[in-house]
Amino acid sequence: MKTHQLIKKTLTVLLVFLYCMGIPAYAANIDSSNKKNNSFNFDLNKSKEEMSYNSFFLKENDKYKYLPLLNLIRTKQFNKARTELNRLLKSTPDKPNLYNLLALLESLEGNNDAAKQNYQKALGLDKKNISAYLGLAKLLIAEQELNSAKINIQKVLKINQNNISAHMALAAIANLKKNYKEAEEHLLRSYKKASKNYLTEIYIASELAKWYEKHNKPTKLISLAQELEKKYPEKIDVLAFKAAAEITTDHINLAEATLKRIVSLDKSDTKHRLMLANILSKQANRSEETLKLLDQVQAIRPNDARPLIVKASFFLSQKKHTETLNIINSAKKLFPSESLIHQLEGDLFLEQKNIDKALNSYQEAFRLKKSYRVLSLLADLLVSQKKENEAISLLQDQLQINSANIEVNLKLASIYQKIEKQNKAIIHYQKILDASPNNILALNNLALLLIDSNKNDSLMLAKKAFDLAPDKAVIIDTYGYILTKLGHYKDGLKILEKSALLAPHIFDIQYHYADVLHLTGNKSKAIAILEKISGSNKNFLEKRASIELLNKLR
């Protein structure tokens, strides 16, 4: 039986195994900010929510006794689980794992204090209960109580120095403290300790790979993939891991060869045929190979819309509009409720500059499935047609569902800025910062909006955005611009010089730099920059101001 099929068919047993090991509970905390690439997830990874179930760790002899309860929790049947737990605790109040299960249930329902109390009850019955220590540590990590979490993890290691979950938790703590070398060491230690169990080993390898990707360590990533392949040369999951590593590190030729090995080993595989088709579609003169793979996927999964969607996307990328539309029309007949097909139709009409038809397609796509991408496109198209009020109404309808939606509030704020309703824009940026205090875009834009009405807050917000994103030219520019507006010319010049070097082709930034140069006495350099940007055919927001300043300085 092929590896990936085996994993799927033994999911229930695997869940029990993972609960015992406690592997994923802490992995979620290692690099939660890295959402760019899911290539290393294998079939073992769970969603963030499902990973939290694994804070309960069963003893070997309790495995099957508590499995029904654990499955009630895993499937979110919380009321039934609570009723059954209360019944069991009444008859057997001396079982520590029942309190661990109750703690898990409380944590999933957001009752962290109650969860901690139940973990403590478990420890009162069993001072060496690894499950309880790890459960407590997980809650403390989430609350940023990292030193207290570490104390609990160290207690686990005194009981069992080889506990993989404890080392994963230490990696999470080190990462949150920005001790990246230590985090890597703990991840590697976990990986080596898991070497006797294939399923555990590849799970931790996937976490280590994501860590290497985030921290830009391509050589180590490739070495890890090659090591796994050498150990498991015929396992499809490992080959998929290797292909993902090769794609991530831009070894496209190697990735192509690896993907071809996968599809030759598994004649029913569609995922990697689609990945291979994606690689080939970006290369000249390989259309025939690409279409052959897409036809294979369609033959394997005739009742799946995805092959048609990918094929239509391919033709659209090739500017073959007639072929694209033919496939879309066929797909709509077969899968009338598939939102992505209507999105593609909207993309096609948008490329053909048929805005009315694009709007209709996107509206149907959004009706079938709420998607921020489609919502954003609809709002932008309405604004482009001077229908700002319709765009605002559409976005406000979504805020009725979730008033704290950051993306919708950002879009609304940007539209209000565009139509010069600055007070309303300010309200939405403040809503974003209430929900997400470190949202860089909201900090940056609100700083600019407050520059005349509240200088102190404006500078504070700009400084915070700069501290969070010190290498983003637009963010640096805002901070430097506000410093100069408040009369801090020397500091502003230093900051704006950095943004100008980072973004030589963003002429608004160049104008701000030229402006502060002339204010600090460097007239000749200011003129040189202004002549370059003012004489360009490129339009930018500060173009009129740059021409006026140039005329003034000459």
In DSSP notation, 46-70 reads --HHHHGGGG----GGGTTTSHHHH
Question: Tokens 């109390």 sit at which residue?
Answer: 117
pTM summary value: 0.66
Query: Which stretches of the chain score pLDDT less than 50?
Result: 1-38, 41-61, 63
Last residue of a domain, one of 161, 185, 214: 214
Last residue of a domain, one of 182, 214, 246: 214
Note whether residue 329 is domain-resident. Answer: no
Residues 421 and 413: their CA atoms lie apart, in Å, by 9
Note whether residue 90 is domain-resident. Answer: yes
Contact 225, 196 (CB under 8 A): no
- What's the angle, vertex CA 542, arms to CA 539 and CA 544, rounded to 5? 80
Burial level of 11, CB count in 10 A (0-12/13-18/19+)? exposed
What is the dihedral angle through the alpha carbons of 341, 347, 352, 356, rounded to the nearest 10 degrees?
80
Note whether residue 159 is domain-resident. Answer: yes
Note whether residue 48 is domain-resident. Answer: yes
Note whether residue 452 is domain-resident. Answer: no
For 53-77, what is each residue's pLDDT tens digit? 343 444 444 545 678 888 888 888 9
How confident is the model at residue 52, as a pLDDT? Answer: 37
- What's the angle, vertex CA 278, arms to CA 276 and CA 280, rounded to 5? 70
Q: How far is CA 35 from CA 40, 213, 214, 377, 408, in A?
A: 11, 11, 10, 22, 20
How confident is the model at residue 202, as a pLDDT? Answer: 86
Last residue of a domain, one of 214, 249, 275: 214
DSSP 217: -
Note whether residue 365 is domain-resident. Answer: no
How confident is the model at residue 54, as a pLDDT? Answer: 41
The CATH number for 56's domain is: 1.25.40.10
Note whether residue 394 is domain-resident. Answer: no
Question: Tokens 């993306």 sit at which residue?
Answer: 407
How confident is the model at residue 307, as a pLDDT? Answer: 87
Number of domains in the chain: 2
Note whether residue 390 is domain-resident. Answer: no
Q: How far is CA 453 from CA 439, 449, 459, 479, 486, in A?
A: 21, 8, 12, 16, 12
For 199-213, what is each residue's pLDDT tens digit? 888 888 988 998 998
Domain range for residue 534? 467-553
